[in-house]
Structure 1
Amino acid sequence: MNGEAARLGGVAKIAVLRPNAVGDFVFVLPALHALKHAYPDAELVFLGKAWHADFLEGRPGPVDRVVVLPPIPGVGAPVDEPVDQQAVACFVERMRGEGFDIVLQMYGGGRYSNPFVMRMEARLAVGARADGAPPLHRWAAHVEPANRRLALLEIAALAGATLPWMQRELAVTPADREAAAQVLPAHHGDAAHGRLAEYGTTMPPPQGCDRPLVLLQPGSSDPRRCWPAERFVAVGDALARAGALVAVNGTAQEAGLVRRIVGGMRQPALDLAGKLGLGGLCGVLERAALVVSNDTGPLHLALAIGTPAVGLFWHTNLVDGAPLRPGLLRAAVSAQVRCSVCGADNRASRCPHQESFLHDISVDEVLGLAFAQLQSQPAVASSA
């Protein structure tokens, strides 16, 4: 760490650079809240992607405004991607004109992002620095693996920011709830309603008791992080037999996977593939008593909203993605490190195969965690 972590005086405008995907955005939420808590009168501007602007428009939270970055090599775009350098230069000039007091680099180790941040000429530039990356005014060492939420909070602390206690990191809007209502039955339970039957029984829920919603999330952008579909089928059936209303979510591109799971179940389940935007998904997650998910964006959205979850993780990914409220997550972790096709150790470098690395997580393990989570969480989830 370089520099004294003192709070800056006279701060009117702060920028945070993080043009990432959904899960990575969730990881930065505690740091954003800490910054807004430390500088409540400053405008907090998020430098991100178009989806950030769409998702955060009108959403209560620490971000006041989103500025969409143009393609910049190494900063939201591949290093070797041809870009319009004139457009990049014009963007930098526009950011200088904003007159940021503090710019925080929260995008990787800084090899490309730190020089980009320094071009904005803020009073204070803060961020992560990997070995060999250019320094900022204040910086923290970038190491992997590490809990991303805590690492980003460390960067915020370099700007004098501290985090207040929060039960929920991400706000759910009326529009989110309305979108969820379009795809869910009019009457179903949530975490505030009764408990499921114990694992291993086929007892239906008590008469007059609504069915708690359990959401299965079987997809991921990384096939190595995907638990086998037939095991989601077994988990869904067991939860439905115990009294849950089971829904299976996925993108439109994952519709085949979702249909395979819903069609393979002996118990009825809702197919939500391609039916939800990001806001609608937040609405569904808020109504869920439990989420069972691979390590992917919707899992981390659920945790940010305050919904209990069972997460399926490969090796050190749990270190990166662990929530600040540990009680919300029960994790099933695979210790498999070698590819089932070629035998290559994938900890330091990735082989070309796309096989799952979660085969050593059993159905019984996940069901045990799911029922334990459902039995222990109703009071917490209902007050989130």
Structure 2
Amino acid sequence: MLHIFLFLILLAFGQSAPDYNDPYSPIFTDKAVYSWTDKVKMTIIAPSWNSDRHLIDTIGDTDDHPIKITTSEHSLEPYRFVETDVNSGVFTAEVILTGFDHDADGDGTFDTTPRTIGNGPTNGFLQVDRNSAITISFEFADGVVLVKSVPVRWNLGTISFVEDLFYLENSAVVRVVDADMNLNPEALDHLSIKLFSDSDVAGINVNAVETSESSGAFVATVSLSQSSPSSGNRLYSLPGDTIFAKYDDHTLPKPYTKSDNLEIKTFATVDSSIPPIDRIENLPITFSNSLGNLLESFSQDTTMQIVGTIKNDQEFKQKFVYIFQVKNDQNYVESISWVQGEISPKQILDVSQSWIPKESGKYHIETFVWNSIGDPTALSPSMSTLINVQ
């Protein structure tokens, strides 16, 4: 431990002047890759340049031993770095990248203000292209230049719902991650997301807000309504709907060109917290003749109407398939038919089908309420009624 402690002391204080033969001054950046409008935080460890252990020192702001922050076409020089604390030997600075003229959100106007200006430590702005690099060079001593380069790239954005399933009583949260839309690294940025559902294909445009300065992550929260039309941050949707969110990325990496854009899309499912089997009430069936009068006895070769009644106690309309199935006393299906429709909130609805028994005997009349024929889910328990045909 003593040897390590002495070694660190020598690193920080052992050199009273720059060592030409063994320059120790590593350069660090806070990221390995940057986007076009990022803030670049730089650190240079230069104990040899800790010239006064009782004061905050600066480096890089002289023509003799300058620090330069450059791209292939633009440069900030000399650029001043400031010691983090008295006698630390660690120097830092920041530069904000300002990109180039480009419409980043597809609204027809440029979203950046390209400029190169500043002399440090935190007032620098530097223009960059979408596929370039930033080079930090420090003339550590006469003729000894230390260099660090980091690439600048555009990124492919991603979009996702935070859950695969949302209940109507809750809100849906959608998240976009696109570092290229962090257009101002010192403020919360915004971007537009399109949301729509199976029940409202027109949908809504919502404003997603950056989660924190310079995060490049954006979140929008949308309420789901089965009774009110889409408006603002409210999306009309029904149980069983798929909801979609899409975002147009106008800052695409190579091999895309600068003028390309790409629609990025995701989806989730909406449902009610009420179990499907409890969503519609299937009431006992009744029987009537062709005039609508109730029947209490049944005869063969005589037409009867089988009348079913369903009740929707929910706050949303529901599509349904009502199935009539008649079985004889041998458990063979004599007749099967169905009625498809939609039942409104709080509505009580009668559905009926005619049937002519060809033979006397006992019959089971079964009724089912499903959401569809192709991909059926029961919306209520089935009902069965036994009748005797004379």
Give the TM-score normalised by the residue count of structure 2: 0.24
Rg larger in structure: 2
Q: Which has the higher contact order (CA 8 A, sep 6+)?
A: 1
**Richer in helix (by share):** 1
The structure carrying a bigger strand percent of its residues is 2
When normalised by structure 1's length, the TM-score is 0.24
